[in-house]
Chains A and B, each alone.
Chain A
Amino acid sequence: MSIAEYLKALTIYRSMDRRFRAKTIRDTLQGTVLFRDLSRLELSLVERIVHLRHYAAGETVFRTGERGLGLYVIHEGAVRIVLDQEDEVREVALLEVGDFFGEVALVEDHAKRSATALAARPTQLIGFFKPDLLELIDRKPHAGVKIAMAIASVLAQRLCAGAEDDEQQAAPNDKGSNACSQATGT
């Protein structure tokens, strides 16, 4: 077998392997925007730090008002996000594999959960918490800063989106305003 044939066979094997083998924690992490920029070595370190949790269908992940410590990435299954406030209870999102939630708690001290998360079916979640992030920043600052910047970016985008929604509600006919560019510009 020539080298070219060997490399071609190897490429086919890798593509087949990727397609048919069970999805690993690393695959899920790599698929999210938070961990996408990490190198293979940094990802393997994160893989050793995170917590894999199993939830039965209907089981609560967390409830509104509880103290939060970090975010969850959906590895398998799905999660319903329920807004559970004084005057209303409504489902606001159904999150699928690769989505993440609870990231505010990762950066805010003594953060309270603003919604309830329930497993929609048997679900596996990858938990990444503040102590894990702090440990990563302490031991491998390069990787820790990449994740911290990604979280900051996600939060900034959500802040902008929220501000835009507020502007839309306040002035539905005003097409010219752009809260995001204003927010990011300052």
Chain B
Amino acid sequence: MMADLKRSRATSAAQRQPPAAQTRSRLRVAALLAALAAVGVILFSVPGMLSNALLAIVVAYVLNPAVARLERRGYSRAVAILVLYAVLGVGCAVIGSVAAPAVVQQAMELKAALPRLQDAVERSIGEWRWSIADRFPWMADLDLGLQSLSFSEIAGPILAGSFSVASSVLLILVLVPLTAFFLLKDAAMFQRSMLQMVPNRYFEPSLALIHRINTQLGSFIRAKLAQSVVVGLLLWIGLSAVSIDFAALLAAFAAVMNLIPYIGPLIGAVPGILVAVFVMDTPDAAWFGSAVYFVAQVVDMVFIVPLVVARIVDLHPLTVILTIIAGGKVLGVMGMLIALPMVCMLKSAYLEIDAGFLTLRR
């Protein structure tokens, strides 16, 4: 009995936080929330800031292991980043000088071929419409949206989007590396400053949470980019081998789309098959082109996804599909790209909160 009473007194004394600590804790929470709100307002209110920040974060995550490797060789962090930037700059310049003329030439050819492609696609859509109406007359009364379907309506926004992206490329080329440089150099300091504002009680679980999200997000971004690069290279080689026009451009587009799981590869294959069917004018080209896309996807699914991506993502396929659909509805293509990493982060947060914050005793 006495032992219980003694224990109860000691425990309550041990668990009651002094008023000074409580006040400081509340002030820290207020400061942290204010800082997070300020960052959110700046990111969402300044045009282009969010996409630049996201790109810079991706670049920083991709380069971080290389910077750490250089640090292991004895360079300071700033020097390591500068050395890496110099090497990458030279590399990009060399690759650009070799690949740029081919890409520019293909882009000009695609621009010249676009009216022909447009005519061919619109003619085919018209033929399909008549064929459907002929075979299934009852469908002619249904408004499926096909009556108003035209290539320019479908492709117009995509092309306009592409040109607006191209116009901001210069801005991105300057801002993203600069932001990524400071993220690489000072992200740990920013993180420590934010953690300074976390009350003592929640400090360790918060640190564990940030570490887990950091590790998982970094691995995810690096794995997805590696997957895209491999698929892009396979497609470039394959499409060039079967003599499909614009192979480099089509492979680059498919590589970017491949970042979106399940749906992305299908979207990525559409331009290639359209080009093979309507521009090449040879029946074999469509089959060969489709086969190349199919083989690239088989290689991706059999070798790259199980080895690289699946271990990191660890989400049910249905969850992934629903996540991508929801992301696409909210933010379009950008939403489809960032939805999965966001859900991975939320899952990590849930697991960490379950393991860390919930063990805190009141």
Which A residues fall within an 8 A CB radius of B? Answer: 48-49, 51, 53-70, 82, 84, 87-89, 110, 112, 116, 118, 127, 129-131, 135, 138-141
Contact A67 B359 (CB under 8 A): yes
> Which of A56, A70, A127 is the most central at the interface, judged by chain B CB atoms within 10 Å of its CB?
A56
CB pair B14–A67 under 8 Å, yes or no, is no
CB distance B6 to A57 under 8 Å?
A: no
What is the total number of residues of chain B having a CB less than 8 Å from a CB of chain A?
37
CA distance A110 to B20 in the complex (A): 31
Tell which of A66, A68, A116, A139 touches B72, judged by Cβ atoms closer than 8 Å: A139
Q: Which of B72, B189, B210, B360 contacts A140 (CB 8 A)?
A: B72
Does B316 have its Cβ within 8 Å of any Cβ on chain A? no
Q: Which stretch, B90-98, B122-130, B200-208, B247-255, touches the partner chain A?
A: B200-208
In the complex, whether B311 has a CB less than 8 A from a CB of chain A is no
Do residues A60 and B15 form an inter-chain contact, with CB atoms below 8 A?
Answer: yes
The one of B10, B16, B195, B201 in contact with A51, judged by C-beta atoms closer than 8 angstroms, is: B195
B71 interface neighbour in A64, A112, A129, A139, Cβ under 8 Å: A139
Considering the complex of A and B, which 10 residue pairs feature the smallest CB-CB distances, nearest first?
A131-B211, A89-B10, A56-B20, A56-B21, A59-B21, A58-B18, A139-B71, A69-B204, A67-B359, A56-B18
Q: Which of B196-218 contact A (CB under 8 A)?
A: 196, 200-201, 203-205, 207-208, 210-211
B162 contacts which chain A residues (CB < 8 A)? none
- Given the contacts A57-B18, A89-B10, A112-B359, A140 and B204 also touching, CB distance less than 8 Å: no
Chain A, residue nearest B19 (CB): A56
Shortest Cβ distance from residue A133 to the other chain B in the assembled complex, whole angstroms: 11
> Cβ of B15 and Cβ of A67 under 8 Å apart?
no
Known contacts A49-B188, A55-B21, A67-B356; A62/B204 CB under 8 A: yes
Contact A51 B211 (CB under 8 A): no
Expressed in whole angstroms, the minimum distance between the Cβ of A109 and any Cβ of chain B is 11
* Contact of B14 (CB < 8 Å), options: A118, A129, A131, A138: A118
Q: Name which residue of chain B comes closest to A122, CB basis.
A: B20
Cα of A69 to Cα of B360 in the assembled complex, Å: 13
1/0 per residue B82-110: CB within 8 Å of A? Answer: 00000000000000000000000000000
Instruction: Report A-chain residues with C-beta under 8 Å of the C-beta of B77.
Output: 139
Chain A residues whose C-beta falls within 8 Å of the C-beta of B15 in the assembled complex: 60, 63
Q: How far is the CB of A41 from chain B (nearest CB, A)?
A: 10
Q: How far is the CA of A53 from the CA of B207 in the complex (A)?
A: 13
Interface check B17, CB cutoff 8 A: yes
Instruction: List, in ascending order, chain A residues with CB within 8 A of B10's CB.
Output: 82, 84, 89
Residues of A near B14 (CB, < 8 A) are 60, 63, 82, 84, 89, 116, 118
* Interfacial chain A residues near B211, Cβ < 8 Å: 130-131
A130 to B205, CA, bound (A): 12
Task: Kindly list chain B residues whose C-beta atoms are within 8 Å of the C-beta of A130.
Answer: 211
A84 touches B11 (CB 8 A): yes
Give chain A residues whose Cβ lies under 8 Å from the Cβ of B188.
Answer: 48-49, 135
What are 28 pairs between A and B in contact, CB < 8 Å?
A: A48-B188, A51-B196, A51-B207, A55-B200, A56-B17, A58-B13, A58-B21, A60-B15, A60-B201, A61-B200, A62-B204, A63-B361, A64-B361, A65-B359, A65-B361, A67-B208, A67-B355, A67-B359, A69-B207, A88-B7, A112-B359, A118-B14, A127-B203, A131-B207, A138-B72, A139-B68, A139-B71, A139-B77
A53, B188: Cα distance in complex, Å: 17
B116 at the interface (CB under 8 A from A): no
**What's the Cα separation between A65 and B11 when bound, in Å?**
13
